[in-house]
Amino acid sequence: MHNTVILPLLPVYVVDFLGSTLMIVFAVVAFYHARRLIRLDPHNVLWTHFFWVCMALIILAASRGTGHLLRYILMFIGHPQVWTLLSPYSGGFNSLAFCAIAVLTFYYHDMRAVIERVRNDSLSLEQVNSRLMEAHAAMRRMNLTLEQQVERRTHDLRLSEEKFRGLFEGSQDMIYFCDRTGNICDINPSGLELLGIERREEIIGQSLADFFLDMNKWNHYRKALDTQGHVRGFEVELVGKKGNRLYTMLTASAIKSDSGFMQGCEGIAKDLTHFKEMMEQLVQSEKMTSVGQLAAGVAHEINTPLGIILGYTQLLEEDFEKQPEVLEPLQTIEKQAKVCRRIVADLLKFSRQTAEHKKFPADINKCLADVISIVEHTLNLDHIYIHHCFSPDLPEISFDYERMRQVFVNLLNNAHHAIGKEGIIGVWTRFQEATKEVEIVVADSGTGIPPELQGRIFDPFFTTKGAGKGTGLGLSVSFGIIQDHGGRIEVQSPPRDPATVAAGMHTSFHIFLPALPANSTEEG
């Protein structure tokens, strides 16, 4: 009966035994592969989950399979009571393994959602990282472009600054910058030279108004800058550091802030002094030419009847020599007729209608010394002394000796009249290497010539002397003689020449005559 019970269940036992064995084998294989996965990617949550599931399956397989196998082994060897003792423990392990697998299985759905969320977050991070990389690349490109732009802009600014500096330093005109109060902030070398200033530091911070001769002009200049924002072609007379007058034309523009508030100005001053002097000389020359033609005609017309009057007067004086009451009026007529004849002679000289004079190479110092020896005694009577400084190495000049003496006599007589009594007359000669001219300076310590009269002193018949003390032709005749010699004459009151200023002179006449080449024997 025992055999009838066992035989029908044998296949079941065999299948159960084989199933338990395969269960253990499959659990070990699954655990092996899960362990490989987790080694490949230790931080992967899914592989970690599979690893623990396989661990729980191994425990379940070991507990269940070992329990079933041990049960059959103990039954076949005849110790079923031992299985009765071990079966509760085997069942407990099985229950624990089933619970673990159940928990891990139920947790799989939540883990899957977490993994999906993590994957989505990872994709988002990758996209963000990709955008950050693109932005970084764009910023690098922009940075490179910005560096190139900054370098290009710096190069352009450097070129612009070099151009401006070259224009500022090399300009022949005075270029200046002032602040809002009119104080000079910067000035170019031509401006320093024009104003007679050696170093830029001497003028920085000084008001531009200090160099304006007429303050009304300064007020007009400032008003135009404030209201119009610019000044165009503004003619103004400036005074240099040494007191010399400068005729300039200003062009200036206001520098304003964004709000329209004036912060300063920039300007250019063109020196017109030489141009103005040349124009004045041209006008003077044209004026004297016209007056000279008129004077020549008048002199010739007057000369004939004047000679007749003088001749008859002298004849009458012989007839009435013993009648004083008649002789004295006749002598007065003769005296005044001679004065008229002298004026006519001056007119003829002025108009250059007298016989042509010859010019020979000679020493100008000797001519001056001869004139000084003649007039010095008369000057000393009025306590006027002549200080002369002749350059010993002057080249020769081709000139008419007598006519040049007349020029020097006229200048010394004018200096005598300007001083009156007690003063100094200075005479200098020197060679101007740059222009190849000999310069003769005659200066005096007199009262000076007012600015409004300086443009008229070479006009014919213009004189500041009293009635009967001058004809007003002395400087006009001198002007013509100097022109005939290819030279020029200038007046400075007050003087600008350092030597005349140091000597205390108030007026100076400068004669410039062309020097002869070395070893020349020119005759004109």
Tens digit of each residue's pLDDT, the chain (524 residues): 444 444 456 676 677 777 777 877 887 887 788 788 878 877 776 677 777 777 777 777 776 666 666 666 776 777 777 767 766 766 666 777 777 766 666 665 566 666 676 677 778 888 888 888 888 888 877 777 777 777 777 777 777 766 666 676 777 888 888 988 889 888 888 888 888 888 888 888 888 888 898 888 899 998 888 888 888 888 888 888 877 788 888 889 888 887 778 888 888 888 887 777 777 666 666 665 666 666 666 666 677 787 788 887 888 888 888 888 888 888 888 888 887 777 777 666 655 544 456 788 888 999 898 888 888 888 888 888 998 899 888 888 888 888 888 888 888 888 888 888 889 999 999 998 888 899 999 999 888 888 877 777 777 666 666 544 555 667 777 887 888 888 988 888 888 888 888 888 999 999 999 988 765 544 44
- What are the b/e assignments for 117-156, b being 16+ CB within 10 Å? eeeeeeeeeeeeeeeeeeeeeeeeeeeeeeeeeeeeeeee
Bond from prior residue into 494 cis (ω within 30 degrees of 0) = yes
Max CA pair span of the chain: 220
CATH 1.10.287 range(s) for the chain read: 277-350
Residue 115, number of CB atoms within 10 A of its CB: 15
SS3 of 138, please? helix
443: β partners: 426, 508
How many angstroms separate the CA atoms of 244 and 238, rounded?
Answer: 8
Q: Right CATH number for 277-350 from 1.10.443, 1.20.120, 1.20.1300, 1.10.287?
A: 1.10.287
CATH code at 174-271: 3.30.450.20
Record the tokens describing residue 301, joined without a space. Answer: 């017309």
CATH 3.30.565.10 range(s) for the chain read: 360-514
Q: Dump strand ranges (E) for 216-328.
A: 230-239, 245-256, 262-271
How many angstroms separate the CA atoms of 451 and 216, rounded?
Answer: 17
- List Cα–Cα distances, 491 to 208, 275, 430, in angstroms: 27, 15, 17
Indicate the length of the chain as a whole number: 524
Alpha helices in 77-176 (DSSP H): 80-170
CATH 3.30.450.20 range(s) for the chain read: 174-271
The CA-to-CA distance between both ends of the chain, in Å, stands at 180
How many angstroms separate the CA atoms of 99 and 110, rounded?
Answer: 17
Domain 360-514 has CATH 3.30.565.10: yes
Q: Helices 324-350 and 474-484, interaxial angle, to 10°?
A: 40
Amino acid identity of residue 208, one-letter, is L
Q: What pTM value is reported for the model?
A: 0.43
